Amino acid sequence: MAAAEPLIRSQELTVRFGGNVAVNRVSLAVEPYTLKSIIGPNGAGKTTLFNLLSGQYRPTGGRIFFKGRDITGLNAAARTHLGIGRSFQLTNIFPNLTVLENVRLALQSRAGISYIFWRNFRAYPELEDRAYELLQRVLLEGRWDAVASTLTHGEQRKLEIAILLALDPELLLLDEPTAGMSLEEVPAILELIRDIKDAGQRTILLVEHKFDMIMSLSDSIAVLKEGRLICDDAPEVVSCNPEVLEAYLGGGAKDA
Ligand SMILES: Nc1ncnc2c1ncn2[C@@H]1O[C@H](COP(=O)(O)OP(=O)(O)O)[C@@H](O)[C@H]1O
Ligand SMILES: [Mg+2]
């Protein structure tokens, strides 16, 4: 039987900023319905790789394929439309709207309902119900009527994930979803990511520093060092690779 097509795949992906090669000939494949973590020291190119995959940056070399289709030339909006979802810390939250309104707006944009109808309160009760369900999913329903700007860091991250889920992407790019959270808040987010994975509907690429957590959560772990992919394998294999231990655990990742 032929191997399944990867959901997303990069081929020799490269981006240069001046003389700095931030992502250097990275060839990476993510199988459908799996979770791959990307690890590496600060400045290794993890966020830049996400920016390339989501279309925020254009590569200076290499190609990106989504479900076998070359999407290298597509902009970020077109990639979102295809099912590539990227969570942006804070930038996709409307601070003056409530938590529920934020999620409902994302659902409306997914459903293609015109923005001008949005102020028509309760025009779409089913969207409001669905938004509330998503808030339950991320354990934020108790804050449904809070103004988004009043949320804690942890609550903001949860809202970002709810908004991302509202957009219903096949591929989730999660860049340090627990950044800025208090230690008590972290397990709930990682459990949520585990639930999303276990539901079997989505594929996840995750950048996360909590090494123990990603060991148990990931189907595979890719290691970047100075823009290069130095390892991509099962967690137990990656964790005993001496180069990985040196590059990552010895590379100033104190919070690992
Ligand atoms: N827009 C940009 N302009 C110039 N340099 C950039 C830009 N984006 C990222 N870089 C550089 O790319 C390298 C990788 O950064 P980044 O992807 O943020 O690393 P990581 O997320 O692994 O910490 C760094 O040297 C960073 O300064
Ligand atoms: Mg980063």
How much is the pLDDT for 120? 58
Q: Is 4 contained in some domain?
A: yes
How much is the pLDDT for 136? 93
For 107-110, the CB contacts below 8 A with 24+ separation are 107/131, 107/134, 107/166, 109/167, 110/166, 110/167, 110/168
* Gap from CA of 46 to ligand 2 centroid (Å): 5
Q: Residue 216 is part of a domain; what is its CATH number?
A: 3.40.50.300
Task: Please report which helix (H) or strand (E) contains residue 35, including its range.
Answer: strand 35-39
Q: Is 48 in the pocket of ligand 1 (CB under 6 A)?
A: yes
Q: Is 224 contained in some domain?
A: yes
Closest C-alpha to ligand 1, atom 12? 22
Q: Confidence class of residue 254 from pLDDT cuts 50, 70 and 90? A: very low
Last residue of a domain, one of 148, 168, 188: 168
* Gap from CA of 107 to ligand 1 centroid (Å): 32
* Gap from CA of 243 to ligand 1 centroid (Å): 22
Let me know whether 9 and 57 are in one domain: yes
- Rounded Cα–Cα distance for residues 52 and 137 (Å): 29
Q: Is 22 in the pocket of ligand 1 (CB under 6 A)?
A: yes
| 118: pLDDT strictly greater than 70 | no
How much is the pLDDT for 209? 85
- Rounded Cα–Cα distance for residues 85 and 81 (Å): 9
Last residue of a domain, one of 168, 191, 213: 168
- Rounded Cα–Cα distance for residues 175 and 88 (Å): 8
- Rounded Cα–Cα distance for residues 16 and 60 (Å): 6
Closest C-alpha to ligand 1, atom 20? 43
Stretch 228-247: mean pLDDT: 86
| 89: pLDDT strictly greater than 60 | no
- What is the span of the domain harbouring residue 253? 1-83+170-180+201-256
Q: Is 188 contained in some domain?
A: no
Let me know whether 59 and 11 are in one domain: yes
Higher pLDDT, 93 or 75: 75
Q: Is 17 in the pocket of ligand 1 (CB under 6 A)?
A: yes
Q: Are 107 and 127 in contact (CB under 8 A)?
A: yes
Q: Is 51 in the pocket of ligand 1 (CB under 6 A)?
A: no
Nearest listed ligand to the Cα of residue 20: 1
Last residue of a domain, one of 168, 190, 223: 168
Q: Is 23 contained in some domain?
A: yes
How much is the pLDDT for 181? 80
Q: Is 45 in the pocket of ligand 1 (CB under 6 A)?
A: yes
Instruction: Answer positive or negative: Cα dihedral of 42, 44, 47, 48.
Output: positive
How much is the pLDDT for 253? 45
Q: Are 47 and 207 in contact (CB under 8 A)?
A: yes
Let me know whether 2 and 18 are in one domain: yes
Q: Is 122 contained in some domain?
A: yes
How much is the pLDDT for 141? 95
* Gap from CA of 226 to ligand 1 centroid (Å): 10
| 210: pLDDT strictly greater than 80 | yes
Q: Is 192 contained in some domain?
A: no
How much is the pLDDT for 62? 98
Stretch 219-235: mean pLDDT: 95
How much is the pLDDT for 252? 46
Let me know whether 79 and 156 are in one domain: no
Residue 112: left (phi > 0), alpha (psi -120 to 50), or beta? Answer: left
| 98: pLDDT strictly greater than 50 | yes
Q: Confidence class of residue 178 from pLDDT cuts 50, 70 and 90? A: confident
Share of residues in the chain with pLDDT > 90 (%):
63
Let me know whether 35 and 112 are in one domain: no
| 153: pLDDT strictly greater than 80 | yes
Q: Give tens-digit pLDDT for 27-72.
A: 999 999 999 999 999 999 999 999 999 999 999 999 999 999 999 9
In sequence order, what are the residues at sequence separation of 6 or more whose Cβ sits closer than 8 angstroms to the Cβ of residue 71?
55, 64, 65, 78, 79, 82
pTM of the model: 0.89
Let me know whether 160 and 109 are in one domain: yes
Let me know whether 61 and 125 are in one domain: no
- Rounded Cα–Cα distance for residues 149 and 67 (Å): 37
Let me know whether 69 and 104 are in one domain: no
* Gap from CA of 18 to ligand 2 centroid (Å): 19
Ligand 1 site-directed mutation target among 13, 16, 17, most atoms within 8 Å of CB: 17
Q: Provide Rg for the chain, Cα atoms.
A: 19
Stretch 157-183: mean pLDDT: 90
Instruction: Answer positive or negative: Cα dihedral of 111, 116, 117, 122.
Output: positive
Nearest listed ligand to the Cα of residue 46: 1
Q: Confidence class of residue 255 from pLDDT cuts 50, 70 and 90? A: very low
Closest C-alpha to ligand 1, atom 4? 17
Report the DSSP pairing between strands 220-225 and 35-39.
Answer: parallel
Q: Is 189 contained in some domain?
A: no
Let me know whether 174 and 256 are in one domain: yes
Task: Please report which helix (H) or strand (E) contains residue 85, including its range.
Answer: strand 84-86
Let me know whether 31 and 147 are in one domain: no
Let me know whether 120 and 226 are in one domain: no
Q: Is 50 contained in some domain?
A: yes
- Number of structural domains (the chain) is 2
Let me know whether 224 and 255 are in one domain: yes
- Rounded Cα–Cα distance for residues 172 and 150 (Å): 26
Q: Are 104 and 94 in contact (CB under 8 A)?
A: no
